[in-house]
Amino acid sequence: MMRLENTEVRLWFVFCREIQDEALLARYRTLLSEVERQQERRFYFPQDRHRYLLTRALVRTVLSRYLPVLPQDWQFAADEHGRPHIVNSVPGVDDLSFNISHTREIVMLGVTKRSALGVDVEGANADTATVALADRYFSVAEAASLRALPQAAQSERFFDYWTLKESYIKARGLGLALPLQGFGFEIRGPQLSLQGSPAVQDAAARWRLWLLRPSHDHTAAVCVERTGIEPQTLVSSKIVPLAEEWPLDPIIRGQS
Q: For 93-136, what is each residue's pLDDT tens digit? A: 999 999 999 999 999 999 999 999 999 999 987 666 677 788 88
Question: Is the same domain home to 127 and 39?
Answer: no
Which run of H or E residues covers position 10? strand 8-15
CB-CB contact of 192 with 249 (8 Å): no
Q: Is the pLDDT of residue 255 over 80?
A: no
Question: Is the same domain home to 141 and 176?
Answer: yes
**What's the domain range around 7?**
1-93+231-243
Question: Is the same domain home to 215 and 147?
Answer: yes
Please tell me the total count of domains within the chain.
Answer: 2
Q: Do the domain assignments include residue 10?
A: yes
Q: Give 20 or 152, the one with higher predicted confidence.
A: 20
CB-CB contact of 81 with 174 (8 Å): yes
Nearest to 106 by CA among 68, 50, 157: 50
Contact residues for 6 (Cβ-Cβ < 8 A; gap 6+): 113, 114, 227, 230
Check which CATH number belongs to the domain holding 141 and give it. Answer: 3.90.470.20
Least confident of 24-28, 164-168, 230-234, 240-244: 230-234
CB-CB contact of 157 with 151 (8 Å): no
53-104 pLDDT, tens per residue?
Answer: 999 999 999 999 999 999 999 999 988 878 888 999 999 999 999 999 999 9
Helices (H), 86-191: 131-137, 140-148, 151-172
Confidence of residue 186 (pLDDT cuts 50, 70, 90): very high
Q: Do the domain assignments include residue 108?
A: no
> What was the pLDDT predicted at 2?
87
CB atoms closer than 10 angstroms to residue 190: 12
> Torsion angle, CA of 174/179/180/185, rounded to 10 degrees?
-90
Pairwise CA distance, residues 56 & 27, whole Å: 12
